[in-house]
Amino acid sequence: MRQFLKYTLASLTGSILFCLLLGFLLTLGAVGLVGVIVAGLGKEGDAPTVEKDTVLVYDLSTVIPDSPEAIDPSALVFGTQVPSELTLRQAVLALEEAATDDRITALYLKGSTALGAGLASQTEMQPAIEAFQAAGKPVLAYDISWSEREYAVAALADTIYLNPFGEIEMNGLYAETMYQADALEKLGVGVQVTRVGRYKSAVEPLIRDTMSPEEREQTQRLLGDVWQNLLTTAAAPRDLTAQQLQNIANTKGFLFGAEAETQQLADAIAYEDEVITALRELTGEKDEEVEDSDLDFRQISLAGYAATVDDPLTSRRSDNQVALVYAEGPIIDGGDGDFSQTGIIEGNTLARQLRQLRQDDEVKAVVLRVNSPGGSATASEVILREVQLLREAGKPVVVSMGNVAASGGYWIASQADAILAQPTTITGSIGVYGIFLNLEELGTKVGVNWDGVKTSELADIFSSTRPKTAAELAILQRSVDAIYDSFLDRVAEGRDLTRPAVAELAQGQVWSGQAALDLGLVDELGGVNAAIATAVELAELGDDWRLQEYPEPSELQQFLRGFFSTEVAQAQTHDPLTAQVLQFVDDAQILRALNDPRGVYMLMPYQFVVK
């Protein structure tokens, strides 16, 4: 009886504590909900005001994704601040509009410690900045120190300012990968792989401690292509040659103060307050008229200005629709629910979207914007099937590649009517692998064991509690081989190449967009707008069409977006140790997201960091 009372009392106490905790959380959530709604209502109707003689400010740390991030509804309950995001099309449209807007007097490229746009996105924004300059409006750029990637953007400016205490970094690019095989062995985590492609190195960080010769070769080649593009981009506006910048990289690496000015990489050495004074001269402000801050001037951020700009393509009136579909992030299996994960391509979700567009009579063509390193082989095939069906239905499909469209990302693009990429797009990686972890040794170390029964010899082939036998690995290798053969067939058919030619450039090799064009993996260099124009031409629509972006935000998402801060996300630079830890976490999250039912993946080589 005493035991009964003891457990009953313990259970009752636990229930009471749970109810109290639940009540506290609900109260906290209610307060957060009310606070957010009140704040949102307070913001309702507010819109950025653009005054005459305003400077448009592009903070280079502004995160610029292809598509806006979905808001988790739980953020509303707990009052989490979710920053809005300036998308690539919005950024380009804003820069183009500002060029002809009489209220905008100049463009200020504000340097930072990190860039928020990828290399391909930078390339896409460049013509819009050049158009602003061609309109006779000054472009100014300032930072304490400029990195190579930052400088490639700043080089477009009429005047580049460098802080007297800063430098211009021009020492080349460096790529590194974190290898974890030794750590996994010490932990007792076993790793077995199956793969096809000598260059398919995505598994190497888990099974090696150093780069393989093949990985070193392809990374060096890719890095060289990116570096040459950066040199050309940075040199041309400054009336320099790429070789001159290469000489600086080889002999100096960093240019400080007056030396940067002498070498024509900077136009003036100045402190930020002196740059602000120059900006005030453009706005016509006098120092005594500025009350808020010594560093203040009449300005509007790129994100703020974008909110005032109407999209001329989506606001058209026409029954003919060109659909722009965003596919951004790793490709995973599944996606049958009502809510999609942000930054993840769910195979079933994207396939369903493409199916709906195929069945919509108003949709005449589809532009598929792919920004993905790949992922699940099964999910990639599910998506590709819908691309094929769209074409069979007489609706052209044009792929626009973003910063990366490799492996599974290339699989879903391979049979489009046309593929466009930027010179620095990372693509290719035509290869397949399977990865199988087991915890047997780890369990032994901590005193955990597993045992079970089965009805046939291969019933537990996917068990993670023991290593695979040689016979099991042979079976799994056959599966990988079959998918690789299918990959080659799809690329050969879609790209109108012979199978031997595809086999030669495959093997898991990663290519830049420029190299992919030369190899026939890409049809044309260009961005989203060029892809849209190609789709319109293939569908023979003339001027009678309008653009619609997908996935469309739900009513809930539109409601939530209206209640959160309009601050844009900013890219951050971390100290070397923190950066290594965060990279390890990112790698682990990618592994965790992989869920192919056959354990077979088409993913580009593990994340390597370019510095």
Find the catalytic residue in 201, 376, 400, 407: 407
Separation CA 102–CA 381 (nearest Å): 50
Q: How many residues does the chain have?
A: 611
**Burial group, residue 460, by CB count within 10 angstroms (0-12, 13-18, 19+):** middle
Q: Is 395 a catalytic residue?
A: no
87 half-sphere exposure, CB direction, 13 A CA radius: 16
Print the SS3 string covering 476-516: HHHHHHHHHHHHHHHHHHHHCCCHHHHHHHCCCCEEEHHHH
- What residues form DSSP beta bridges with 175? 610
CA end-to-end span of the chain: 69
**Burial group, residue 388, by CB count within 10 angstroms (0-12, 13-18, 19+):** middle
Cβ atoms of residues 584 and 361 within 8 Å? no
CB environment 32-51: b (16+ within 10 A), e (fewer):
beeebeeebeeeeeeeeebe
3-state class (DSSP) for residue 366: strand
Print the SS3 string covering 97-129: HHHHCCCEEEEEEECCCCCCCCHHHHHHHHHHH
Separation CA 514–CA 521 (nearest Å): 10
Q: Is 200 a catalytic residue?
A: yes
Separation CA 400–CA 118 (nearest Å): 15
User: Which residues are CB-neighbours of 474 under 8 A, at least 6 positions away?
Assistant: none
Find the catalytic residue in 61, 112, 121, 200: 200
One-character DSSP codes across 399-411: EEEEEEEETHHHH
Separation CA 409–CA 121 (nearest Å): 17
Return the active site residues: 200, 407
